[in-house]
Amino acid sequence: MSTSVDRFDERARRTVERVGQTVVHRGELLRHPVYTRVLHWLVAIAFILALLTGFAIYSPWTYRFLAPLFGGGPRTRLLHPWFGLFFTIFFFFQFLNWFTPMIWNKDDTRWMKRIKQYSTNEEKVEPESVGFFNGGQKLYFWAIVISAVLFLITGILMWFDNLTGRWVVAVSYVIHDIAGLIMLAGFIIHIYEGTAAQPGTFRAMTNGTVTERWAWTHHPGWYRAVTGRDPRESYEREQRRMADRERAMEEWDRDQDARDQA
Ligand code: HEM
């Protein structure tokens, strides 16, 4: 696929990489380069603005505190389609950027079958079949792709409602809201997974790096691909190191107690 859009994407990637920088320290791995991070946060800002203005339009009374933030009801209505448009444009470039690592495979279907064990943190490390993204992350990505297409089509139909029939607008409203709710549900889970549920993940989208420990725990297949090392062996070595450290500290404590008593 070598279209002019692709070439533009490649140029943008190179330009942004020249402006920004990612520092990778010892024991860390590069997870997301500057271009990916810039796109991610542009998508996130546009999405949140579209969401807030969307809420204010959907239920002006319930969300009456929102419209004043955007300069009142009419201006909120005016801004909403623009935020939505920026969201789909930025996400389109993220789509090009992530298309390859987001391709669904048999391992992802297997991952989905054990989603309960994953969400309850039953296993300390993920199976080695988990590569750069796991099945849940890919599902979220494809849910956004489908919702964003529906969002764009129905949004345009509602934006230019004088050119479309009344029933077209009515159906568009329903589809637009359903797509919005799907993305909202995914967004809430996404924030939880990207912060509290998995400490050490958020920095992947700020610094651009993660610790090796994070990599062999959550994405062992990717860890092996970039380091050439066995993730299970690295995990067990780390466990042994921690146990040795604990033993050394206990010994030191005992020595101190014995010295105090002498
Ligand atoms: C504002 C709060 C947000 C936070 C804290 C956040 C955090 C993150 C983090 C840390 C990652 C990297 C995960 C990894 O490398 O494994 C990520 C990836 C991603 N983000 Fe966000 N994000 C936010 C908003 C959004 C929004 C609004 C969207 C789109 C509507 C979005 C779409 C994605 C996608 C598709 C990925 C890749 C797949 C995944 O990791 O789930 N993010 N995000």
Do 131 and 221 touch, CB atoms closer than 8 A?
yes
pLDDT tens column, 168-213: 999 999 999 999 999 999 999 999 999 998 999 999 999 999 999 9
pLDDT score recorded for residue 15: 85
**Containing H/E element for 209?**
strand 209-211
Measured in Å, residue 37 CA sits from the centre of ligand 1 at 9
For the CA of 218, the closest atom of ligand 1 is 16
Does any ligand 1 atom lie closer than 6 A to the CB of residue 203? no
pLDDT score recorded for residue 72: 95
User: With bands split at pLDDT 50, 70 and 90, how would you rate the model's confidence at 256?
Assistant: very high
User: With bands split at pLDDT 50, 70 and 90, how would you rate the model's confidence at 6?
Assistant: confident
* Distance of alpha carbon 42 from alpha carbon 39, whole angstroms: 5
Does any ligand 1 atom lie closer than 6 A to the CB of residue 202? yes
Do 125 and 215 touch, CB atoms closer than 8 A?
no
The helix/strand/coil state of 73 is helix
Nearest to 102 by CA among 129, 72, 68, 133: 133
Average pLDDT over every residue of 61-75 = 95
* Distance of alpha carbon 70 from alpha carbon 149, whole angstroms: 26
Residue nearest to atom 32 of ligand 1 (CA): 40
Measured in Å, residue 148 CA sits from the centre of ligand 1 at 15
